[in-house]
Structure 1
Amino acid sequence: MKKLAILAIAFIGLTTQAQEKKTTREQLSPEQRVDLQVKKMTLDLDLNEKQQKDMKTLLVKQQQKREEAKAKREAIKSDDVKPTTEQRYAMKSKMLDEQIAHKAEMKKILSEKQMEKWEAQKADRKEHFDGKRKEMRHKSKK
């Protein structure tokens, strides 16, 4: 009986401790994220000075748009009102239009060879992310 009580206490302690590990890390500022992203792209794609400057400008604009969209989504979410089909369509259409414009800007900045490498990296990231998403869905079904 003693062993059962000790086991129960240990189990409760471990589950409580496991739940407490969800600490949040300090987030980087948008400027820091952009700087790191440009440096990573410089290493990966061998960007020159002009490309780095142009890329930083493009990424800052993209970051601002992302922050605005996030604020808008959170405002809608806080109202507890689900967007209508037309609103979801408009949001998705706007997002895709922005992706097309971003890709066009990237084509202006990068050389053809750099663009091919960037597209390949983008596809790898998407594949990796999709795999993680499926893994998380599979875990949640159990």
Structure 2
Amino acid sequence: MKNIVTILVLVIAFTFTTQAQQRGGQQRGGQVSTEKMLEKMTTDLNLTEDQQNKIKPLLENQKAEKKASMEARKAARESGVRPSKEEREQLNADSKEKATAFNTEMKNILDEEQFAKFEAMANEKKGNTENRGKKKKN
């Protein structure tokens, strides 16, 4: 009996350790730091130093906007106030507008080949996010 309990404890500890290691470079809340994002983009897209200097403020701004909107949603959720359909539509429209503006800026900074790779990376990430949501619902 002692052996079974010991084995169960070890399996549970191993599982938690493995899950923590898989989250590796992510910070609290599952967000990757701006520096890590820029490093990944630099290696994947072969960014020049000038491009890095132009992209870094965009990434920081995007991260700050996402954080602010998350905090606003959290505050609304805690207060029990649900946005109306029109408000949700407006939030979605604003989000799409910000994404379009970000992509336009990126297109101005990157060359055609780099931008094509950037879009492919974004579409892959978007697909992973959609699949993750579907797994949770099932």
Match of 2:33 in 1: 33
The 8 Å contact of residues 27 and 33 in structure 2, kept in 1 or not, is answered as no
Could you tell me how far apart the structure 2 residues matched to 1:70 and 1:131 are? Answer: 21
Match of 2:64 in 1: 64
- Percent identity between matched residues is 29
Could you tell me how far apart the structure 1 residues matched to 2:36 and 2:126 are? Answer: 20
Match of 2:77 in 1: 77
Could you tell me how far apart the structure 1 residues matched to 2:118 and 2:125 are? Answer: 11
Local SS of the residue matching 1:65: helix
Match of 2:42 in 1: 42
The offset of 1:48, in angstroms, is 0.1
TM-score by length of 1: 0.74
**Structure 1 stretches of 5 or more lacking a match?**
1-5
The 8 Å contact of residues 45 and 117 in structure 2, kept in 1 or not, is answered as yes
Bigger Rg, which one: 1
Superposed CA offset, 1:46-71 (max 9, x none): 00000011110110111111111111
The offset of 1:131, in angstroms, is 2.2
1:1-142 alignment to 2 at 5 Å? 27=27, 33-138=33-138
TM-score by length of 2: 0.76
Cα 1:129–1:67 change in 2 (3 A) is closer
What number of residue pairs does the alignment pair up? Answer: 122
Could you tell me how far apart the structure 2 residues matched to 1:117 and 1:41 are? Answer: 10
Could you tell me how far apart the structure 2 residues matched to 1:98 and 1:70 are? Answer: 15
Could you tell me how far apart the structure 2 residues matched to 1:137 and 1:70 are? Answer: 21
